[in-house]
Amino acid sequence: MSATDQYNPRAAALQQLAATAERIGLDPIIHEKLKHPKRILTVAVPTAMDDGTERVFTGYRVQHSMERGPCKGGIRYHPEVTLDEVIALAMWMTWKCAVVNIPFGGAKGGVNCNPKEMSQPELERMTRRFAAELVPIIGPGMDIPAPDVYTNPQVMAWIMDTYSMNKGFVALGVVTGKPIELGGSHGRETATARGCHICVLEALRALGRTPEECTVVVQGFGNAGSYAALFAHEDGAKVVAVSDSKGGVYCPNGLDINSLRRHKQLTGTVQGFEGCDDLTNEELLELPCDVLIPAALENVITAENAGRIQAKIVAEAANGPTVPEAQPILDSNGVLVIPDILANAGGVTVSYFEWVQSTQTYFWSAAEVDSRLRETMVRAFHEVQEESHRRRTNLRDAALNLAVARVAKAQSLRGIYP
């Protein structure tokens, strides 16, 4: 049984919402409305395979809320994608956009498939068929997908092209995370990690620490994890361990992240990197370190292993890496958790910037994107920190308080149609 079977992310998301509703005294009608996604689409995705056979994949798009603006959220290709997972991720997107105060609601999508076993033409055909099914419910003013686990700028380019061909006009604003040559934004590729890094720096500053005196451990070495490791390394922190789906590597003297990225590109895994010991993903989470960055999948910090987490700060670059039962254990051990809806919000923030640039067809410099990202993340971090001091709660509860209250305010201003 996988952790996702054991810990249902949808149940976890609803539990979080219920606890937040109680803390902030949410109107019961608004609570009831926020429990239900606005729209759920499940589609069959028949795809011609290279060997002449045909396979039918299942794809999902869940739009949780449009109270504060068009829906926004990534598309994930993974063999363990379930509807419940996509529903939870869509709800978390709503809160995330509200925490950083950008005018979007939350959505998420996924196709249950194993992209590692598919050729590029197979991935293109599957993506285009899935995108064709999404055409009626996505669009620059309606719902704007982006990359997530095992999807990338090329996948976004295929979705943008399929949507544009169906509509008969070019719609740059229908997806974000596009290649730069197709209206993508400078800084989008690194945005999730940069936002996470900015949060870690702010947390360290509050503790009177500097990156140079810290050790860092990162689980997941994809878009979010590899850049998070790189930024920590560039700022002088010692990144002592990282991992990917095949396992991890540990080097107490610190890893050279640039060389490790090249090693992963050449061999397909971080394991076997010269001068390091291999270790499992479970062992990696429990290593002594100052900062632990889970940047892979959900449900990796559980009630079972939370007591053995030795990090002082956990910065959740991944969505939902900590199950609700683990949080009180981390709290009582004095572990500062920077919650996913804040720690990884840099991605959606620069997606918002990309959407603004795409819809205006006027593009910003990398420096402008980075400076606006920094301003947004620092402001959001301090708003969450102030709420946590005011209410004497952890950062996760504080972030949820702010987010749910902002969505509820928009909901009550709009009222219920008709």
Report, as residue numbers or ranges, the catalytic residues: 108
State which residue, 129 or 188, has the beta carbon closest to ligand NAD: 188
* Phi/psi-derived region of residue 44, left when phi > 0, alpha when psi is between -120 and 50, beta in every other case: beta
- 211 or 222: CB nearest ligand NAD: 222
The position carrying tokens 């390091």 is 276
Taking the C-alpha atoms of residue 92 and residue 105, their distance in angstroms, rounded to an integer, is 10
Q: Which residues bind ligand NAD (CB under 6 A)?
A: 147-150, 192, 219-225, 243-245, 281, 295-297, 317-319, 344, 347
Shortest distance (Å) from residue 343 CB to ligand NAD? 9
CB atoms within 10 A of CB 136: 10
For every residue of 168-237, DSSP letters joined together read TS--GGG-SS--GGGTPPTTHHHHHHHHHHHHHHHHHHHTT--GGG-EEEEE--SHHHHHHHHHHHHTT-
Burial class (CB in 10 A: 0-12, 13-18, 19+), 246: middle
Based on CB atoms, which residue is closest to ligand NAD, 21 or 241? Answer: 241
Q: Is 344 or 411 the residue whose CB approaches ligand NAD more closely?
A: 344
What is the closest distance, in whole angstroms, from the C-beta atom of residue 26 to ligand NAD in the complex? 26
Q: Smallest distance from the beta carbon of 99 to ligand NAD, in angstroms?
A: 12
For ligand NAD, the nearest residue by Cβ is: 222
* Cα–Cα distance for residue pair 310/333, rounded to 1 Å: 9
Select from 46, 56, 57, 49 the least CA-distant residue to 122.
49
Give dist(CA 183, CA 180) in Å, integer: 5
Q: Which residue, 2 or 360, has its beta carbon nearer to ligand NAD?
A: 2
Alpha-carbon distance of 43 to 20, in angstroms, equals 33
CB closer to ligand NAD, 21 vs 230 = 230
For the record, the structure tokens of 87 come out as 């529903």
Q: How far apart are the first and last CA of the chain?
A: 45
Sheet-wide strand order for 143-147: 39-48, 54-63, 105-112, 71-78, 143-147
**Rounded CA gap, 246 and 401, in Å?**
37
C-beta closer to ligand NAD: residue 57 or 92: 92
What's the closest the beta carbon of residue 393 comes to ligand NAD, in angstroms?
23
How far, rounded to the nearest angstrom, does the alpha carbon of residue 182 sit from its chain's CA centroid? 23
CB of 284 to ligand NAD, least distance (A): 8
8 A C-beta contact, residue 68 and residue 104: yes
Q: Is the dihedral angle over the CA atoms 274, 279, 281, 287 positive or is it negative?
A: negative
Q: Which of helix, strand or coil describes residue 313?
A: strand
Torsion, Cα of 223, 142, 16, 216 (10° steps): 10
Token couple for 414: 């709009």
Q: Which is nearer to ligand NAD, 136 or 272 (CB)?
A: 272
